[in-house]
Amino acid sequence: MYLGKINLHLFWVCGLFGTAPLWAVELKEAEITALKNIVEHDTGEGKGATAAHASEKIFEKSKLSTAAASMAELTFADTSITRVGANTSFSFQSKERLVKLDKGTVLINTPPGAGGATVDCGGVTASVTGTTFMASVDGNGNKMFVLLEGTEGMRVTAGGKTTIVRPGQAASVGGGEGGGKKEDSRGGPGEKKAGGDKP
């Protein structure tokens, strides 16, 4: 796998860094601060998905989905920001500060002291504190985690095995593989660390 230059201009990376420290708070709700094209919100109350709107509140366990060539930005009370790429479906839970990514790509920034976040991509998790990172799940169930900025690293756990990803590195886990790879942003081959999903 070759990462090359990590091109994230579609996620408005500029302006994420340097946020002031805050006390850790639960991710109880978020506000849609930007969106483009088709973005849908399912509250989980049995009403089905409806078109999302700017300034709309998204609460835990509800689901946000984007279509092709669509994207959205969510801002939480602690100023954590989640930017959602095209063809993505995700939700979040408050106490665990957990983001569940069913498919697609998210870019997440949590300011220092805010408590970090954990992303669950169907049995493969990535936990970070005060950092900026990207997580993605493709149509074949392959997972990718890229740490863009941070000091403590990102813990990626799969199949009972954990690896630490440093800034500029990525960890990948195949949809049905027994192992994952860790690579730097230049695409150099890395050591097999994270365990893959079981078939």
- Residue 86 sits in a domain whose CATH number is 2.60.120.1440
Kindly state whether residue 92 falls inside one of the protein's structural domains: yes
pLDDT band at 47 (very low <50, low <70, confident <90, very high): confident
pLDDT at 85 over 90: yes
Kindly state whether residue 160 falls inside one of the protein's structural domains: yes
Q: What is the pLDDT of residues 91-102, one digit of tens each?
A: 998 777 899 999
pLDDT band at 170 (very low <50, low <70, confident <90, very high): very high
Burial 34-63, CB ≥16 within 10 A → b, else e: ebeebbbbbeeeeeeeeebeeebebebebb
DSSP the chain: ----S---GGGT-TT-S-PPP-------EEEEEEEES-EEEE-SSSS--EE--TT-EEETT-EEEE-TT-EEEEEETT--EEEE-TT-EEEEETTTTEEEEEEEEEEEE--TTS--EEEESSS-EEEESS-EEEEEE-TT--EEEEEEE-SS-EEEEETTEEEEE-TTEEEEE-SS-S-EEEEETT-----B-S-----
Q: Which domain holds residue 121?
A: 27-184
pLDDT at 177: 52
Higher-confidence residue of 167 and 114: namely: 167
Kindly state whether residue 47 falls inside one of the protein's structural domains: yes
Domain count, the chain: 1
pLDDT at 23: 38
pLDDT at 8: 36
Kindly state whether residue 162 falls inside one of the protein's structural domains: yes
How far from chain centre, in Å, is Cα 149? Answer: 14
Give CA–CA dist 199/193, Å, rounded. 18
- pLDDT (average), residues 39-55: 93
Higher-confidence residue of 145 and 9: namely: 145
Kindly state whether residue 81 falls inside one of the protein's structural domains: yes
Average model confidence (pLDDT) for the chain? 80
- pLDDT (average), residues 155-172: 94
Kindly state whether residue 193 falls inside one of the protein's structural domains: no
Amino acid at 179: G
- pLDDT (average), residues 159-178: 87
Q: Hey, what are 26's tokens?
A: 């639960």
pLDDT at 66 over 70: yes
- Of 84, 79, 4, 1, the residue nearest 36 (C-alpha): 84
Kindly state whether residue 96 falls inside one of the protein's structural domains: yes
Kindly state whether residue 4 falls inside one of the protein's structural domains: no
pLDDT at 161: 94
pLDDT at 184 over 50: yes
Q: What is the pLDDT of residues 188-199, one digit of tens each?
A: 444 334 544 333
pLDDT at 89: 97
Give CA–CA dist 7/87, Å, rounded. 18
User: Model-level pTM?
Assistant: 0.77
